[in-house]
Structure 1
């Protein structure tokens, strides 16, 4: 996530660590201040209260996430839907790894029913949907992709992309895979690429797509 002032960044990092470890409701302002080694008044100054800090954690992560999508979408016409989708997959997985703690907490928390989550789904995740839907529509229209049910395919793809952060304990403790490491992120991206090739792409050599942008 974007660097803030050192104090503000320390508060955010401490909050994400404790929210993930103890849960949002079990974490106090004092806990966060102690973890960040700051005065509790700093939290009030930057975020007003714990709810404001929670909302900042969500929005700062998701705004950067949407920027990752938008950056790739600007290259759709130049690179075509296949390469655009492959780049989206690699960049999303990399972004999640680089912001692993935030991704784990936010994806877990966003499954709960709350006013904040309803706002998040109606804004950021609706944008995400529109970008993926457009890529899929363009791929089907250009006959680069097989004809699929776009909503159902997006559900499958979303599940694959979020699995490394939603199932981290299972990955590490049962499968001995470490999704927060670049090596495993690259291997996982290749597996997702094979899924796309088998279920969506019209037959083509996968290696140029895996190589990414020229």
Structure 2
């Protein structure tokens, strides 16, 4: 969410907090304006209505998320599939941590059957799938990865990447682990990297500790 005014940014921050706390339907324009310290008319000026605000929040997050994946994927030829996969996974985990409220709310929206899901989220999720598929296919082709059932592997990987968001309350209340903390994200990334090494990597890359260390650096 770059190049936006302080008023617009305050509205977005307030909306994400209240959408996360109360849910989209329970958070009113007046609630959002009150938390942001702005006039409700400002929300109409920038976003037209609450649905426009919701769409802006989701599109901004997903554009940045898929752009991050694209930039990482573009490096696969130069750094190799294994290093690229480590870098992509670690970048995603830290991106989710940095934008925790956005990520958690949007993951909740994934489970809803709505026009917004069909029209917006499905487009970005298809992009996400394309990036994972392309990288895994490249790795298998270059023998950096062992042959896997790509749809099944993506489902497993998505489960690991989404767990800090889906189970954030459980982690905080019962395990005393806080998904917003960089230390926790680093430790979790190491576990995901171990999964990648044991289930995907093939040949010398599977035994190369420097690939993982570079991604975590």
Task: Give your verdict on TM over 0.5.
Answer: yes
Aligned to 1:69: 69
Q: Supply the distance in 1 between the matched residues of 2:142 and 2:24 (Cα, whole angstroms).
A: 46
Report the CA distance between 1:166 and its aligned residue. 1.2
Structure 1 unaligned residues grouped into runs of 5+: none
| Structure 2 runs not aligned, ≥5 long | none
Q: How many residues align?
A: 214
Q: What SS does the corresponding residue of 1:125 show, helix, strand or coil?
A: helix
TM-score (structure 1 length as normaliser): 0.96
Give TM-score scaled by structure 2 length. Answer: 0.95
2:212 paired residue number:
210
- Alpha-carbon distance between aligned partners in 1 of 2:158 and 2:119, rounded to the nearest angstrom: 19
1: CA distance between counterparts of 2:123 and 2:79? 27
Shift of 1:205: 2.4
Q: CA RMSD in A?
A: 1.3
- C-alpha distance in 2, partners of 1:29/1:98? 25
Once the two structures are TM-superposed, the CA of residue 212 in structure 1 deviates from its matched residue by 1.9
1:55 Cα shift?
Answer: 0.3
Does the 8 A contact of 1:197 with 1:206 survive in 2? no
Partner of 2:21 in structure 1? 21
Cα deviation for residue 109 of structure 1 reads 1.4
Does the residue aligned with 1:212 lie in a helix, a strand or coil?
helix
1:30 maps to what in 2? Answer: 30
Aligned to 1:55: 55
